[in-house]
Structures are given as structure tokens and as C-alpha cells.
Amino acid sequence: MAQSRRRTGISLSWSLPPFPYVKLNVDGSSLGNPGLTGVGGILRNHTGRVLKAFSTFYGFCTNTEIEAMALLEGLRLVPWRIDTIIRQVRQEISKADVILEHCYRELNSAADALTKGAAARKCSTTYDATTLPPPVKGISTLDIRQFPYVHLLRALD
């Protein structure tokens, strides 16, 4: 005797992402496996407003390949926060006479010590020359005296 399986339903609903995040929903479809494929996705903000959406035909692929392509294409739509940060940096630079230049890690020890201190204390602090933590004051003194640091270069293969 065949046993009947009882199925229960659950109620589902799409939810808004919290501010300031966005939500990306993507899907890949394969008509057969492998088969003709397409991907689609929609990017919405914290109010549900559609920021971007896409629908792309990819030709003949497997369902696994096309799901990965859907994710990749969707991630390319996301306005990564780094873009916003870079815009803000450019705005601040345009307000002042500043020169940005690369320096080796060894020459950035004072700033590195300050970042590690903030992370360890889990708080933000502003210092002046008289209130610097002793290790940073010492590094700063060495920098002013042009104390030499050694930077090891990698050997060329």
C-alpha cells in the first residue's frame, strides 16, 4: 500500500535589506542540463526601489555553470562601498593642498601602530603631539631623525 505524503505550506515574503545595504536576487535557468541558458537578476535598495536589473542569454551551458554566471553578472551591478569612499576621498583632496604618494610599509609604522591601537581598544581617538601613545611618539621621533629602515626585496625568479 502506497503511503501518502502530506505536504504543508509555509508563507514566504521577500524582505527589504536594512539601510544602507542593497539586496541582489539572481537566478540562472537551463532548458535542459546542459541546455539553452539565461541569467537574470534584480538589485533593490532599502526601500525596495529597483536600482538595476538584467536578463542575459548565455547559449548552451549546464545549470551549475549558469547559476555561477548569474551570480557573477549580478555582483557586477552592485555599487560597492569602495566607490563611495573613493569619491569622498577625492572630494576631500580637492579641498586642500595635499600630495598622496606611495610609501613602503616600514615607513608607515606610526600610522600602522595607531590603526592597531584603535582596533584593539575598539574606539576612536584624536591625538596631538603631546598626547600620542608612547610607542607612536617613539616611532615619530625616529622618523624625524630619519632613522633607516630595511625593506627586503624579493629575489627575481
Going from the N-terminus, what domains does the chain have, and what CATH number goes with each?
15-100 (3.30.420.10), 102-152 (no CATH)
Task: Give the sheet arrangement for strand 50-61, strand by strand.
Answer: 23-32, 35-44, 50-61
In the predicted structure, residue 2 carries a pLDDT above the cut 70: no
Phi, psi (rounded to 5 degrees) for 40:
-150, 160
Q: Distance of CA 73 to CAs 26, 29, 42, 84, Å? A: 9, 14, 11, 21
Amino acid type, 106: E
In the predicted structure, residue 157 carries a pLDDT above the cut 70: no
Q: pLDDT tens digit string along 10-48? A: 888 899 999 988 999 999 988 989 999 999 999 999 999
Residue 102 CB contacts under 8 Å (≥ 6 apart), including other chains: none
Name the band, by pLDDT with cuts 50, 70 and 90, for residue 67. Answer: very high
Q: For residues 25 and 70, what is the distance between their CA atoms, to the nearest angstrom?
A: 9
pLDDT for the residue numbered 11: 85
* Cβ contact 99:70 at 8 Å: no
In the predicted structure, residue 151 carries a pLDDT above the cut 80: yes
Of the candidates 13, 74, 80, 75, the one whose C-alpha atom is nearest the C-alpha of residue 39 is 74
Name the band, by pLDDT with cuts 50, 70 and 90, for residue 71. Answer: very high
The pTM score is 0.55
Name the band, by pLDDT with cuts 50, 70 and 90, for residue 128. Answer: confident
